[in-house]
Amino acid sequence: MDHPRAGVHYPRSVGEFLAWFGTDADCLDYLEWMRWPAGFLCLSCGDDEGGWRLSDGRWMCPGCGERTSVTAGTIFDRTRTPLTVWFTACWMFATGKDGISALSLKRTLEIGSYQTAWAMLHRLRSVLVRPGRERLAGTVQVDETYIGGEEPGLRGGRAKGKKVLTGIAVEVREPKGIGRCRMAPLADASATSLHAFVSDHIEPGATVISDGWKGYSGLEKLGYGLTQK
């Protein structure tokens, strides 16, 4: 296959991935096929007669003269990191069974700073959240835990990091299955924070299962069933 078809083909191996996306030009071509499958479309005036590709990689609309990039409005917008690095980060993010840390991403892809690697992962995670997605329903197990902590690999045996209190809600599917999951940071474990987490992520009418913490008391007044164990 000379070119991957955007939205259809997916690399089956590292070798195939590198063959498809070995240069920034390959990555740009793929993004253009993905964003404009029928040819360039100007978002400013709606002209679909085809645009002119400029020497800097941007496109210019023949109708209104607007200049834009295929990366505009995407996680790649205004990035100074090569697209080949971005695409490899996407590949690692999607195929890693146990996830990937910013430190691992920095080392593997030789990214200049930890902050850049962290920002890339943050952008990737942000696009996985679908705006307006449906809230959980049915029977939902809710709990809170601390996530984060020490970052290994720092010089002199030092470690730094901050644990974040996180709310977790998981649909319970009988007999022993689980459904969708929602997670979000919590300011604290007070009733105010826990009730807001439940309201944001669980449909009224659902049955909430929690431990005996008093912060979950009162969910019945918000339209939920509550079973505390």
Q: Residue 11 and residue 217: Cα distance in Å, rounded?
A: 49
Q: What is the pLDDT of residues 161-214, one digit of tens each?
A: 567 899 999 999 877 788 889 998 899 999 999 999 999 999 999 999 999 999
Q: Residue 173 and residue 116: Cα distance in Å, rounded?
A: 39
| Total number of domains constituting the chain | 2
**Residues 47 and 21 placed together within one structural domain of the fold:** yes
**Residues 122 and 163 placed together within one structural domain of the fold:** no
**CB within 8 A of 51, min separation 6: which ones?**
40, 42, 59, 60, 61, 62
**Residues 117 and 44 placed together within one structural domain of the fold:** yes
Domain that holds residue 28: 14-126
CB atoms within 10 A of CB 21: 22
Domain end point (choices 126, 160, 178): 126
Mean pLDDT of 95-110: 87
Q: Would residue 76 count as lying in a domain?
A: yes
Estimate the crossing angle of helix 114-126 against helix 102-109, to 10 degrees: 120
The DSSP code for 222 is: G
User: Residue 30 in 3-state DSSP?
Assistant: helix
**Residues 100 and 197 placed together within one structural domain of the fold:** no
What value does the mean pLDDT of the chain take? 86
Q: Would residue 4 count as lying in a domain?
A: no
Q: Using the structure block, give the residue that is written with the tokens 């996407």.
A: 90
